Chain A
């Protein structure tokens, strides 16, 4: 009887899990489907689930905009911002985790508070800074802003992961004559690698999807995929098919990357919890 109840609970949970997963995935599925519709099919009411697929939207998207130029910019900005953020966040999180002071907690909270301000609140100063340093419409400028935007979250995540590493292991390294740099790079980093990898992955995804700064700080040279998507929205005309095709092309690389690395991502995110 107990086994029967357990089985039915398991089936119920499985159905619920699949239901939620499908519900969450549905917008992406619908976007993918719409990208293969003509503009008239895309707006038809009731919406069509079965139709003759066409690649016309993709053809038009490729004809109108240089997809690879936007993708290249996105990769450069995302990887650049993530690498520099990790490079800055590791020493910061290391010192906070292993050499805490009475202000560490406050500093961490203060760092996080910068995420609570709507980005538009600092648009003018950031724009002026970028203009005066000739960083407008450059990948460097956008990567710096993305890096600074994500830095608080990255420091927080790394701090949490580092706290799970037993301090005596680092002390043992120090006893063997390791310098601070060696202690951090040769003892701490290998131990916390799953956590660092998942933090980097998360940062990569955040940078890939970032739209506000991309649209405001770039125009043509450094415009990433978010600007590519925005260029297919039209105030006067039908555009759902083309917009869906552009969006599918924009999210495809990071979606595939996410699928490939989901095991590592989940393992890294639960790193602290299962220790």
Chain B
């Protein structure tokens, strides 16, 4: 009988504990729940947010850090179902216009002290819909070329001020030394709309290719796309690391930082990481150059702005706007510089950051980043007129699915499962089908 009593007591205790946990699930007034990713700049923001709480004792911050894809899925579910679990969300300039048009985001109205005109126009425009601002940029990135100065010197090569893809291929051929695990070029190969397709889309633009014509017909079988993929596949096969289809941003960062890549073309955010001796074994050997140009020579390049937005479902709109205004302000940049050093200042968002001599001294790649963002031109023209915006992505909701699917066929060309022609034909038919299903094309 005593055993029965013990069992009942245990069940009651558990029930009480679970009920207690249930009650604690509700958001208290004045508590902001912030959903973010685990990037270096976000971690700094989280550490420095204690200063915000000190200045605003009525606002308590609750952080939810998630992996990028999980974050996107969680936040989308939360906003679409109007659950109101998050008061501030970290999203990119791909999501902002789409979600704003759906009425999922609150318009942001920063005061005069915020100095919105200090935010780089390309970044600001990418977060604006119908002249209304729907998110504030936390940090922004474009694309640039990283190379090993020591390998170039050894091979008697000089990186031009404005390299072309033909030159990059020649350089990669010359510095590849597979016996010593030095690969001439590292590029994203991991399938995904934000992985290999971010790079390939940017590459396609400068090769004169584009995703759709004005009637939303895919143009994947065009000569420009063939030239794009032929360059990409042949460069990676000849001079790239083995297993390139497994390499995304982080894997290539690891390869370059450990001395296995001669040239790497990727996001400007890697500059700070490669330049940091704690994270990079080649910190003193990294050279920087603009992203190479293809045969077309123009076209949108790359622009991604990790931004803070307030979901329409949040019940604490005013406090949330106060926080995001603080976290993206000029004063915040100064706070980071004072506490973590100028090298840690969030890049790519404010002209004032690039006007600070201390920042230019601490980050020798700063001018390349600023120039890359200024010339990213995500809404600019491609070789032929296009019905969409975006540089390394297509600004339509279907792109996540389309991009990932095409990314898989592109990866299949690297692993010899498909030829370039087969991959492009397959991409053409899968995109056509997807757009027909979504009702965008007939």
Contact = CB atoms under 8 A, between A and B. Distances in A.
Interface string A218-244: 011111000100111111111100000
B40 interface: yes
B249 A83 contact: no
Contacts of B33: 219-220
A139 B65 contact: no
Given A136-B25, A231-B66, A236-B40, A127 B81 contact: yes
Given A64-B46, A219-B64, A219-B86, A235 B21 contact: no
A223 B85 CA distance: 13
Contacts of B62: 220
A40 B258 contact: yes
Interface string B1-21: 000100000110010011101
A236 B266 CA distance: 11
A236 B4 contact: no
B40 A80 contact: no
A40 B273 CA distance: 11
A73 B20 CA distance: 12
A15 to B, nearest CB: 32
Contact of B254 (A76, A123, A185, A238): A238
Contact of B258 (A43, A136, A216, A236): A43
A236 B22 CA distance: 35
Contact of B66 (A73, A135, A230): A230
A83 B64 CA distance: 29
Nearest to B273: A237
Contact of B250 (A44, A127, A135, A234): A234
A40 B22 contact: no
A136 B280 contact: no
Contacts of A44: 258
Interface in A56-72: 64-65
Interface residues of B, number: 53
B18 to A, nearest CB: 5
Contacts of B37: 234-235
A163 to B, nearest CB: 24
Contacts of B48: none
Contact of A238 (B24, B181, B253): B253
Contacts of B238: none
B40 A237 contact: yes
B14 A233 contact: no
Contacts of A134: 22, 25-26
Nearest to A73: B21
Contact of B35 (A80, A87, A216, A219): A219
A167 interface: no
B77 A127 contact: yes
Contacts of A151: none
Contact of B281 (A40, A123, A127, A137): A40
A165 B286 CA distance: 72
A44 B255 CA distance: 8
B85 A137 contact: yes
Given A39-B279, A40-B280, A76-B18, A83 B70 contact: no
Contact of A231 (B25, B38, B83): B38
Interface string A99-127: 00000000000000000000000010001
A85 interface: no
Contacts of B85: 136-137, 219
A44 B257 CA distance: 9
A109 B246 CA distance: 40
Given A139-B18, A223-B64, A234-B38, A83 B25 contact: no
Interface of A: 38-40, 43-45, 64-65, 73, 76, 79-80, 83-84, 87, 123, 127-128, 131, 134-141, 143, 185, 215-216, 219-223, 227, 230-239
User: Ordered nearest first, which 8 A-B pairs have the shortest CB separation?
Assistant: A139-B21, A138-B25, A231-B65, A43-B254, A140-B22, A235-B68, A234-B38, A138-B22
Given A80-B17, A231-B38, A234-B39, 7 more contacts: A45-B258, A84-B14, A137-B25, A137-B85, A141-B25, A219-B85, A238-B254
Interface of B: 4, 10-11, 14, 17-19, 21-22, 24-26, 33, 35, 37-40, 43, 46, 62-68, 70, 73-74, 77, 81, 83, 85-86, 181, 194, 249-250, 253-255, 257-258, 260, 267, 269-270, 273, 278-281
17 contacts: A40-B281, A64-B43, A137-B85, A138-B25, A139-B22, A216-B73, A219-B33, A219-B85, A221-B25, A231-B66, A234-B38, A235-B38, A236-B249, A237-B273, A238-B250, A238-B254, A238-B273
